[in-house]
Amino acid sequence: MNYPGKGLVEGLAITARNFVGSYFYKDRLTTVQYPEERVQTPENSRTFPFLVFDESPDKPRCTACKICEVECPPKCIYIVMDRDDKGKPLQRPKVFDIDISVCMQCQICVEVCPFESIKMDNDYEKSRYGRFNDLVQRLPDLLKSNAYYNKIKPAEAAEVDAKLKAEAEAKAAKKAAAAAAAAKATAVPPAGSVT
Amino acid sequence: METIYQILHTTFANVPAWAVQIAAFLIPIAFIFGVYPAIFALTTLVERKALGRIQNRYGPNRVGIFGILQPLADGLKILLKEDIVPRVADKFTHFLAPVLIVIPGLLVYLVVPVAPGMVAVDLKIGVLFALAVGTMSVIALFMAGWASRNKFSVLGAVRAVAQVVSYEVPTVMAGVAVIMAAGTLSTLTIVQRQGGGLLNISNWYVFRPWGLVGFALFIIGGLAESARCPFDLPEAESELIGGYHTEYSGFKFALFQMGEYLAGMAMAGVTVTLFLGGYMGPGSGPGLAGGLISMLWFFVKLAGMIGLNIWIRGTWPRLRVDQLMGFAWKVLLPLALVNIVAVGFWHFLTPRPLAWIITTGWLVIWFLVLTKCNASAKLEKREYRYV
In which band, very low, low, confident or very high, does the pLDDT at A192 lie, cut at 50, 70 and 90?
low
Judge whether B374 is closer than 8 Å to chain A, CB to CB: no
DSSP chain A: ---TTHHHHHHHHHHHHHHHHHHH-GGG-----TTTS-----TT---SEEEEESSSTTSBS-----HHHHH-TT--EEEEEEE-TT--EEEEEEEEEEETTT-----HHHHH-TTS-EEE--------S-SSGGGEE-HHHHEEEHHHHHHH-HHHHHHHHHHHHHHHHHHHHHHHHHHHHHHHHHHS-GGGGG-
In which band, very low, low, confident or very high, does the pLDDT at A104 lie, cut at 50, 70 and 90?
very high
pLDDT of B3 strictly over 80: no
Percent of chain B with pLDDT over 70: 99
Judge whether B220 is closer than 8 Å to chain A, CB to CB: no
In which band, very low, low, confident or very high, does the pLDDT at B215 lie, cut at 50, 70 and 90?
very high
More confident residue, A190 or B54: B54
Instruction: Specify the pLDDT at position B305.
Output: 92
Chain B residues within 8 A of A21 when measuring between CB atoms: 56
Report the residue of A15, A28, A29, A32 to disrupt the B interface, i.e. the one with the largest count of B CBs within 10 Å.
Answer: A15
Side chain identity at residue B186, one-letter code: S
Please tell me which residue of chain B has the smallest CA distance to A10. B315
Instruction: Specify the pLDDT at position A194.
Output: 53
Q: Are B275 and B218 in contact (CB under 8 A)?
A: yes
Side chain identity at residue B25, one-letter code: F
DSSP B66-80: GGTTHHHHHHHHHHS
Q: Are A94 and A81 in contact (CB under 8 A)?
A: yes
Q: Which domains does chain A have, with CATH numbers?
A: 49-151 (3.30.70.3270)
pLDDT of B240 strictly over 70: yes
Q: How far is CA B309 from each of CA B109, B278, B326, rounded to the nearest angstrom?
A: 18, 18, 22
**Domain edges within chain B:** 1-79, 81-373
pLDDT in tens, A112-163: 998 889 999 888 888 889 888 888 888 888 888 888 888 888 888 888 889 9
Q: Are B83 and B253 in contact (CB under 8 A)?
A: no
**Mean pLDDT, rounded, for A6-32:** 88
Q: Are B147 and B89 in contact (CB under 8 A)?
A: yes
Instruction: Specify the pLDDT at position A195.
Output: 52
**Mean pLDDT, rounded, for A2-22:** 87
Please tell me which residue of chain A has the smallest CA distance to B53. A19
Encode B204-224 in three state secondary structure.
Answer: CHHHCHHHHHHHHHHHHHHHH
Judge whether B363 is closer than 8 Å to chain A, CB to CB: no
Instruction: Specify the pLDDT at position B307.
Output: 92
Judge whether A12 is closer than 8 Å to chain B, CB to CB: yes
Does A33 contact B311 at a Cβ distance shorter than 8 Å?
no
pLDDT in tens, A30-44: 888 888 888 888 888
Q: Which pTM does this prediction carry?
A: 0.78
In which band, very low, low, confident or very high, does the pLDDT at B27 lie, cut at 50, 70 and 90?
confident
Does A11 contact B53 at a Cβ distance shorter than 8 Å?
no
pLDDT in tens, B320-343: 888 888 889 988 999 999 999 999
Antiparallel, parallel or unpaired: β A143-145 and A49-53 = parallel
Q: Could you tell me which of B139, B155, B160, B152 has the C-alpha nearest to residue B86?
A: B152
Judge whether B367 is closer than 8 Å to chain A, CB to CB: yes
| DSSP code, position B380 | P
pLDDT of B297 strictly over 60: yes
Instruction: Specify the pLDDT at position B245.
Output: 85
Instruction: Specify the pLDDT at position A74.
Output: 92
| DSSP code, position B184 | -
The complex scores an ipTM of 0.76
Instruction: Specify the pLDDT at position A189.
Output: 59
Judge whether B312 is closer than 8 Å to chain A, CB to CB: yes
DSSP B87-148: TTS-HHHHHHHHHHHHHHHHHHGGG--SBTTB-S---TTHHHHHHHHHTTHHHHHHHHHHHH
| Minimum distance, in Å, between the CA of residue B10 and any CA atom of chain A | 49
**Mean pLDDT, rounded, for B234-254:** 83
Whole-number Å distance between alpha carbons of A39 and B95:
47
pLDDT of A72 strictly over 60: yes
Per the prediction, chain B carries an average pLDDT of: 86
Judge whether B56 is closer than 8 Å to chain A, CB to CB: yes
HSE-CB at B122 with a 13 A cutoff on CA atoms is 17
pLDDT in tens, B340-374: 999 988 888 888 888 888 889 989 999 888 888 88
**Mean pLDDT, rounded, for B4-17:** 75
CA–chain centroid gap for B73, Å, is 26
